[in-house]
Amino acid sequence: MTKEQYEAQRKALMDSAQELLNSGDLEGCKAKQAEIMDLDSKFEKVGLEQANLNALLNTINRNGLLTPNGLFNATGTTEENKTVVDKLENQKVAQNVTRKNKFATEEYRMAYMDNVLKGTPIPEKYNTDAFTTITEAAAVIPTTIVEEVIREMKTYGQLYARVRKLNVKGGVSFPISSLVPVATWITEGTPSDKQKVDMSTNVSFLYYGLECKIATSLLANEVSLASFETTMVTLITEAMIKAIDLAIVKGTGVASPTGITVDTRVSADQVITLSADDFKTWSGWKKEVFAKIPLSYRAGGTFIMASGTFDGYIDGMVDSTGQPIGRVNYGITDGVQERFGGKEVILVEDDVVADYETAAAGDVVAIYAKLGDYAINSNLQMATYRWLDQDLNQYINKAIMIADGKLLDTNGVLIIKKGE
């Protein structure tokens, strides 16, 4: 069966099913649907077997085991008559060499170190896969360094470690289901209605550059490859962790990710202003905050606040019976674990979420969210520029990573502001 024959038969069956449905013949329509599914299954199996057959034929052809007439090459030199096993083994070795990431080789890593420290140009053979959004003067950061940076960010980035990581094409809409299907009881003759999931709500990601500038003087004393890469990882990780965590909370959405507190899709009902009295008591938090957390978003949700806010106002808070609500658990393996009302508390710097003591009225002082509903989209590739800063009289290396981020689901977010 060819593709054209399949499409013609399927169209005829679809037209017939539609006519039966229009005439009210539901049983006939169901029978036609069964024929369509059977045709689809049959065509899929035919396509799969054809692909397998083509793969076998191509393997033989690539290894010179067929003559121009399509017959097995049983005559010729010893080299021409190598066994299939030998031929395929040689091909496998060649493929493994081709698949090796050239940006992870020691040769490239040494070339990259010389480029950063001395300005030595990267060899031309490594420029074929140049970083696509940067000029030819950029150098792709070795894969070993990038992987270590990402690993460190997942370990030490308080917020980045918990958000969802995506690698989808920029500009592509990410659909979000806005209706949760409901199960209904049925009898033998009354099937439940199919619930259409509304996919009209969506988000899309753009291309924003996150840069980290490193003075060559900070790396000048690193003479070995291992120490150079360790220092690069430390410097890049420290800078990018701070920038990403800050963007997750309060990124403007202009040339940077859209922060949780800035996202216009978070409704006014999800923004809570706590008075000074309510902020200091469990009854105030219970009524104004915890009572407004949707039931389906209570599991896995966390509070985000400044360490001064937790230590000064939350830690030690008790309910009306004297039971502790805000506390610090001292685990054996994970160290200090802050909790509030049974929820994890993530402590951040004051520039991420304002400390309650120094915050002005109307400032955000705490956030409740399921961080898994926030996504960072990045291809996790990095490249560096190198240029001379005329004012400082020193060379600067600027590492750049392309990324964007925003909430995929805003329904579980609560933003707590300081009141009078």
Q: Which of 16-25, 330-339, 374-383, 407-416 has the lowest mean pLDDT?
A: 330-339
The residue range of the domain holding 150 is 102-180+195-250
CB neighbours of residue 263 within 10 Å: 17
Q: Which two tokens stand for residue 155?
A: 């370990």
Q: Are residues 80 and 134 in the same domain?
A: no
Based on the fold, state whether residues 93 and 107 are members of the same structural domain: no
Q: Is residue 306 domain-shared with residue 358, that is, in the same domain?
A: yes
Is 40 contained in some domain?
yes
Q: Are 224 and 211 in contact (CB under 8 A)?
A: no
Higher-pLDDT residue of 227, 59 = 227
Q: What are phi and psi of 28, to 5 degrees?
A: -65, -35
- 71, 98, 125 - which closes a domain: 98
- Say what the pLDDT of residue 173 is: 63
163 in any annotated domain? yes
Q: Looking at residues 179-184, what average pLDDT do you find? A: 51
Q: Could you tell me if residue 186 is inside a domain?
A: no
Average pLDDT over residues 11-40: 85
Q: Are residues 170 and 281 in the same domain?
A: no
Q: What contacts 102, CB < 8 A, 6 or more positions away?
A: 108, 126, 129
Q: Which of 49-63, 203-217, 293-307 shows the lowest per-residue confidence on average (mean pLDDT)?
A: 49-63
Residue 128 inside a domain? The answer is yes
The verdict on 237 and 352 lying in the same domain is no
State which of 33-42, 113-122, 183-192, 219-228 shows the largest mean pLDDT: 33-42
Which of 204, 223, 250 lies at the terminal end of a domain, its last residue?
250
Residue 257 falls within a domain, yes or no? Answer: no
Q: Would residue 396 count as lying in a domain?
A: no
Q: Are residues 77 and 108 in the same domain?
A: no
- Summarised one tens digit per residue, pLDDT across range 271-291 is 999 999 999 999 999 999 999
Same domain, 131 and 242: yes
Tell me, yes or no, whether 392 lies in a domain: no
Are 80 and 108 members of one domain? no
Query: Which residue, 50, 81, 98, sits at the end of a domain?
Result: 98
Q: Identify whether residues 220 and 244 lie together within a single domain.
A: yes
Interval 229-243 mean pLDDT: 77
- Compute the distance between CA of residue 400 and CA of residue 207 in angstroms, rounded to an integer: 12
Given a cut of 70, whether residue 304 has pLDDT beyond it is: yes
Helix orientation angle between 225-250 and 143-156, rounded to the nearest 10 degrees: 50
User: Rounded to whole angstroms, how far apart are CA atoms 103 and 97?
Assistant: 13
The answer on pLDDT for 167 being more than 60 is: yes
Same domain, residue pair 301 and 227: no
Residue 393 lies in a domain: no
Residues 243, 276: one domain? Answer: no
Q: 127 and 136 in contact (C-beta within 8 Å)?
A: yes
Sign of CA dihedral 60, 64, 66, 70: positive
Segments in 63-102 forming alpha helices (H): 84-99
Number of domains in the chain: 3
Instruction: Say what the alpha-carbon torsion angle 52, 55, 57, 60 is, to the nearest 10 degrees.
Output: -130
Q: Above 50 in pLDDT, residue 361?
A: yes
Same domain, yes or no: 78 and 124: no
Over residues 387-398, the pLDDT tens digits come to: 777 777 777 777
